[in-house]
Amino acid sequence: MSSTPTVDQKTVGDAAETARTSKDIIMPVAEMAALQLNEDTAKYECCICGDDILLSKGVVTCAEHVMCNECIVDAHAIALKDNSAFPTKCCAPIPFEQVEHLLSPEMREAYSMKIKEHNTPIHSRIYCSKEACSSFIPPTQFDSTSFIQTVAPCTCGCVTCTECSKEWDSEGHKCHECVVESDNTLRPKWLPEYSPTCRIKQCPDCTAWIELEESCNHMYCCHCRTQFCFICMMLWDGFHEEVGCPAYGDPPAGYDEEGFELSWRGLHFETGLDRNGHNLYDITYSDDKPIHAHEPTHIYEPLRFHVLDNDLGVEHIENAEADNYDEFWANAEGLQGFFGED
């Protein structure tokens, strides 16, 4: 009969109280649990595959669970491919030092590099500019011998400029020319065109390309943990269908040939900006925190000029001036259709 390793709750509490990191907590607990087990005869259920195993064929991953060696290796392989599964976890992240002996040299090296990438601030990460490689280059490999630019040599032989993220081609390299000529908002050639069946956009924070399949438009980026609306590309603050962002799928009106909504909002599907470069809420940023303007102007101002000459419009404007915009926004599209778009 299988069982799971347990330790005295007071012992766990004492360990957690004095520990500073998850590693400090997990390792003593695992070691104490192992002392209570008979490695030769007792079998324990793997929390992943459910097989009964000897402790010598698995790892105590927390105070409650054991994971077999095969599942440990599989979990690390998945974590290398899926950022949302990194780092490998049980009830808490599993210390790499506890399981690295189970991994192949290649996987061990790859996971160690993944740890370095994970621990580097996302906006400070540099990747190889060679498209076929695109490997993460840790800051320890940067070469700062030049007084002008810092470069990042990759193991593939390509050298990337850390200023513009383009290939370092010669001593005459000029970053400003690369920046002018490049546009990281352009869809790569290998990426299919956007369509209702291929909804792929860039995260507005880290610019990683992510796909939304069969789910609502509340998007979560597994690379940088940013939450945003997949329609207007604004940071997530709840569903807002009243201003034109459906909970599921693209806007019913669709997009024109240039990618702008065929509606009164006119937002581009990739950037969330209209043709004048404004977003839906006229949000400004201070210390990386969104601050909502008191009143939207760029989209709704023309509409307000239409409705001022009508009693119904005056009623809505009075509500707006009283800081009650919900009803005004909810009826904005209907009002514009009623009064025309001249």
Model pLDDT for residues 180-228, shown as the tens digit of each residue = 444 455 667 777 888 888 899 988 887 788 888 888 999 988 778 889 9
Q: Kind of pairing, strands 136-137 and 227-229?
A: unpaired
Indicate the domain borders of the chain. 9-119, 122-170, 192-276, 301-339
- Show Cβ contacts of residue 62 under 8 Å, excluding neighbours closer than 6 positions: 26, 29, 30, 90, 91, 92
User: What would the two tokens of residue 325 be?
Assistant: 């915009």
pLDDT at residue number 62: 87
pLDDT at residue number 108: 93
Question: Which one-letter amino acid corresponds to residue 80?
Answer: L
Residue in the block written with tokens 């979990």: 75
pLDDT at residue number 130: 84
Report how far residue 206's alpha carbon sits from residue 224's, in angstroms, rounded to the nearest whole number.
Answer: 6
Domain boundaries 9-119, corresponding CATH code: 3.30.40.10
pLDDT at residue number 78: 92
pLDDT at residue number 283: 43
Exposure b/e, 34-49, CB count within 10 A at least 16 = b: eeebeeeeebbbbbbe
Question: Which one-letter amino acid corresponds to residue 41?
Answer: T
Question: Which one-letter amino acid corresponds to residue 140?
Answer: T
CA angle 299, 305, 309 (to 5 degrees): 145
pLDDT at residue number 229: 92
User: What would the two tokens of residue 217 be?
Assistant: 């438009």
- Show Cβ contacts of residue 312 under 8 Å, excluding neighbours closer than 6 positions: 335
pLDDT at residue number 250: 92
Contact (Cβ atoms closer than 8 angstroms) between residue 229 and residue 219 = yes
Model pLDDT for residues 267-277, shown as the tens digit of each residue = 899 888 888 88
Report how far residue 86's alpha carbon sits from residue 223's, in angstroms, rounded to the nearest whole number.
Answer: 10
Interhelix angle 332-339/311-321, nearest 10 degrees: 150
Residue in the block written with tokens 């925190």: 289
- DSSP letters, 265-305, are S--BTTT---TTS--SS--EEETTEEE--SS--TTTHHHHH
143 backbone dihedrals φ, ψ, rounded to 5°? -115, 115
Exposure b/e, 229-267, CB count within 10 A at least 16 = b: bbbbbbbeeeebeebbbeeeebbeeebeeeebbeebbbb
Torsion of CA 128, 134, 136, 137, to 10 degrees: -20
Q: What is the pTM of this model?
A: 0.50
97 backbone dihedrals φ, ψ, rounded to 5°? -65, -20
306 - beta bridge partners?
Answer: none
- Whole-angstrom CA distances from 57 to 31, 72, 122 are 16, 11, 37
Report how far residue 23's alpha carbon sits from residue 89's, in angstroms, rounded to the nearest whole number.
Answer: 12
User: What would the two tokens of residue 188 be?
Assistant: 């790569």
- Whole-angstrom CA distances from 315 to 242, 287, 327, 338 are 19, 38, 11, 16
pLDDT at residue number 29: 54
The stretches in the chain having pLDDT less than 70 are 1-40, 144-149, 170-187, 282-342
228 backbone dihedrals φ, ψ, rounded to 5°? -155, 165
CB-count exposure of residue 76 (10 Å: 0-12, 13-18, 19+): buried
Question: Which one-letter amino acid corresponds to residue 219?
Answer: M
Q: Which helix (H) or strand (E) holds 202?
A: strand 200-202
333 - beta bridge partners?
Answer: none
